[in-house]
Amino acid sequence: MMSNRSTDILFQLIKSLQKAEKRHFKLYIKRSSAKDDLKIVQLFDVLDKLPDDYDEKLLLKKLPSVEKPQLANLKSHLYKQILSALRLLKTTENIDLQLSENLDYARLLYNKGLKIQALKILEKAKEVARANQKFNFMAQVISLEKKIETLHITRSSIDRTAVLTNEALEISGHIDRVTRLSNLALMLYRWYVQYGHARNVADEKDIKEYFKSYVPPSENDVDGFYEKLYFYQSYCWYAFIRQDFLMYYRYSQKWIDLFVEDKSMVAVETGHYIKGMHTLLNALFDLRHFKKFEVVLYQFEQFFKTDTAQLHDNFRVHTSIYINSAKVNQHLMKGTFSEGLKLVPSLKEELKEYALFVDRHRIVVFNYKIASLHFGNGDYDKAIDYLNIIINAHEDLRYDLQCYARLLHLMSHYELGNDSIIESLTKSVYRFMAKMKNLTVVEEAIFRFLRDTFNISPRKLKPEFVKLLEKIKYLEKNRFETRSFAYLDIISWVESKVYEKPMATIIYDKYKASKSRRH
């Protein structure tokens, strides 16, 4: 599902450029470079026209004037020139680039001895930074201001000096709190990406102790946009790992509410807004809150049409991917598997187009979701194809998904009646899940059922399915067992056998019943 595009960084950069950016680069290089630099324009053109895979032999063949020993330096020079051109083009679109440019100007003026001019630019930059809550940048500005005030007589008042020192203390404290909270949010998210949900009481205890040792005692102890943002993110990942889906929803909503309260921050921290919308949709999916899910998905789709979402490749790509992920989730929770499968061709094309921007974790998740659509639709052979991609990838992430991919793979073979491999496959999957400490009461019951029934005739199977349903139905509300149901709707699968209805019908009936209750 993912393009095998070369990892050559220059090639990747050129392939990521849009037409306007390529045109701007050509104009930039003609204005700012010597005649010798025309070689990098030739190199740019050849790389731009290469197919999706980087081929150095073909590249040198198309550049007869360049010897192989020259190529590395030429590529390095071209890479820097492209970045310089992009910086010039994108400065007005990005507050961080604007602030960095002003800081560079102030340093240049200071080095020329024009200290008062430098201080004026720094003061203006500080106002913009404060308005956009860019406190890390303010620390750099204040550092240069203090340097100028310490080394030179600038006729600043004593009051001005006092203000500067107080600002420095206030900002350093704020930066320290933001750093601690952002570290906590990042470490929790990384834990989830590697392991998934808490597997048992020991995992729960470890996560709880780690979380409590870093998080502030209450929400009243955090102040400002960034402190609150990372505080809410930390609670999101903490709740999600522990499968406390109600807490997960509450804090993902608080995350988005930050942007609702201060709409200007959507343009300043677009990436965090996009991730927050994705997280909120995931929380609503986990809670099966169908109505609000539809409302938030519609809002996200409307956001995708805005200039802010389309401004940068990163925003455009991830918004599109998250919207498609939500649409797949919507079909999974409604049981409309055949409709969901209609999205797959365009989704695969999108992932191929965006291969440079999509992380491995996202690919694993999409493969699993597509396999789940096929399984729910009764296309067991196709489900196995997608599950094999996960099983054979040997990725060092999402151990939980690797476990459930193997379990769904086993169940697909069971549905196909591949009795000759069921016994050995059951043992293999059981060993893998035990090794990963991923066995719950639900999985134990499923393995016991598969071991005990693969030789039973189909007409005698229904009573066994009834017994299995009785064993696992009461676990649906148990937090440590719900990880099974979050990844694999085993109860609906068993119910489809007991009530002799397609799995899609069972889930869709639950969806309709839930909607009527909410109304």
pTM above 0.75, yes or no: yes
Please check whether residues 102 and 129 belong to one and the same domain: yes
Q: What are phi and psi of 118, to 5 degrees?
A: -60, -45
Please check whether residues 436 and 374 belong to one and the same domain: yes
Q: Residue 92: count other Cβ atoms within 10 Å of its Cβ.
A: 10
Please check whether residues 416 and 492 belong to one and the same domain: yes
> Taken in order 278, 280, 281, 282, is the CA torsion positive or negative?
positive
pLDDT in tens, 228-255: 999 999 999 999 998 889 999 999 999 9
> What does the alpha-carbon distance between residue 46 and residue 66 come to, in Å, rounded to a whole number?
12
Q: Among residues 156, 184, 208, which one ends one of the domains?
A: 156
> What does the alpha-carbon distance between residue 445 and residue 14 come to, in Å, rounded to a whole number?
53
Please check whether residues 135 and 64 belong to one and the same domain: no
Residue 453 maps to a domain = yes
Q: Among residues 66, 92, 118, which one ends one of the domains?
A: 92
> What does the alpha-carbon distance between residue 216 and residue 222 come to, in Å, rounded to a whole number?
7
Q: Quick one: tokens of 275?
A: 């991730």
Please check whether residues 52 and 38 belong to one and the same domain: yes
Q: Are 411 and 371 in contact (CB under 8 A)?
A: no
C-alpha distances (whole Å) from 477 to each of 243, 354, 361, 400, 480 are 11, 38, 28, 19, 9
Residue 497 maps to a domain = yes
Residue 344 in 3-state DSSP? helix
> What does the alpha-carbon distance between residue 27 and residue 233 come to, in Å, rounded to a whole number?
43
Residue 224 maps to a domain = no
Please check whether residues 84 and 98 belong to one and the same domain: no
Please check whether residues 512 and 464 belong to one and the same domain: yes
CA within 13 Å, CB half, 137: 23
Predicted pLDDT of residue 51: 82
Please check whether residues 465 and 392 belong to one and the same domain: yes
Residue 184 maps to a domain = no
* CATH assignment of the domain containing 447: 1.25.40
> What does the alpha-carbon distance between residue 380 and residue 374 come to, in Å, rounded to a whole number?
6
Residue 163 maps to a domain = no
Q: Among residues 48, 69, 92, which one ends one of the domains?
A: 92
Please check whether residues 366 and 498 belong to one and the same domain: yes
Please check whether residues 361 and 437 belong to one and the same domain: yes
Residue 106's domain spans which residues?
94-156
pLDDT in tens, 462-505: 899 999 999 888 777 666 555 566 678 888 999 999 999 999 99
pLDDT in tens, 345-396: 998 888 888 877 777 888 888 999 999 999 999 999 999 999 999 998 866 6
pLDDT in tens, 291-345: 999 999 999 999 999 999 998 888 999 999 999 999 999 999 999 999 999 999 9
Q: Are 330 and 297 in contact (CB under 8 A)?
A: yes
Query: Which run of H or of E encompasses 291?
Result: helix 290-304
C-alpha distances (whole Å) from 168 to each of 172, 208, 500 are 6, 34, 70
Residue 299 maps to a domain = no
Count how many domains the chain has: 3
Residue with tokens 């017994």: 467
Q: Residue 326: count other Cβ atoms within 10 Å of its Cβ.
A: 22
Residue 246 maps to a domain = no
Residue 432 maps to a domain = yes
Is the confidence at residue 3, as pLDDT, over 60?
no
> What does the alpha-carbon distance between residue 59 and residue 47 come to, in Å, rounded to a whole number?
7
